[in-house]
Structure 1
Amino acid sequence: MMYDYPSPMFMGSGSVLFVLLLLLAIAALGVLAVWPVHRRRDQGQERAEQILADRFAGGQIDAEEYEQSLRMLRNARH
């Protein structure tokens, strides 16, 4: 008496390729979801340093305050 149950081999190479592509797509979405966050953080740091430099150039703060604030900004990044 033979039973006709599907075996694990019924998936074939097309299904394996589909699963691999699905896993690749999920991984790519994960990377794309995290990447812009790091990029925005770097742009914010650059913007803060530029504002500080502009304030120093405009005479709103002196050299000591500029250097101290710049060190604080750069230390906060790490």
Structure 2
Amino acid sequence: MMFWYGDGINGWGWFAMSVGMVLFWVLLITAAVLLFRSLDHASARPSARQQQGTAEQILGERLARGEIDAQEYRERLSVLRNGEP
């Protein structure tokens, strides 16, 4: 006697296969999203050159507000650019 369901996948097999496929795609999409986010955050970080420009801008703003005089501005700018006073 031949049973048609003996060699095939029963209802639980189809269910397990469907759940496995959904989990596979969820994990794949999640990994892709996390990868793109990490690459985006890495490119958003300011480089050392950008931070130096920001420090020079702050120094210029302090000179403009009168917090430091021209001599102190030149000294600090020299330290920022060359690393020596």
TM score, norm. by length of structure 1: 0.53
- How far off is 1:23 after superposition? 0.3
Structure showing the higher helix proportion among its residues = 1
Shift of 1:27: 0.7
User: 1:51 offset after TM fit, Å?
Assistant: 6.0
Task: Give the whole-Å Cα distance in 1 for the aligned partners of 2:6 and 2:45.
Answer: 57
Provide Cα deviations, 1:20-74, integer angstroms capped at 9, x if missing partner.
001011111211222221011111121036961x2212128xxxxxxxxxxxxxx
Rg larger in structure: 2
Structure showing greater relative contact order (alpha-carbon pairs closer than 8 Å, 6 or more residues apart): 1
Structure 2, unpaired ranges of 5+? 58-85
**2:54 aligns with one of 40, 50, 57:** 57
Note the aligned Cα RMSD (angstroms): 3.1
**3-state SS, counterpart of residue 21 of structure 1:** helix
What is residue 44 of structure 1 aligned with on the other side? Answer: 42
Residue 14 to residue 50, structure 1, CA distance change in 2 (3 Å): farther
Give, as a single letter, the amino acid of the residue that structure 2 aligns with 1:12. N
CA distance, structure 1, for counterparts of residue 13 and residue 28 of structure 2: 23
Percent sequence identity is: 11
Match of 2:24 among 23, 26, 30: 26
SS in 2 for 1:38: helix
Q: Name the count of aligned residue pairs.
A: 57
Point out where structure 1 has 5 or more consecutive residues left out of the alignment: 61-78
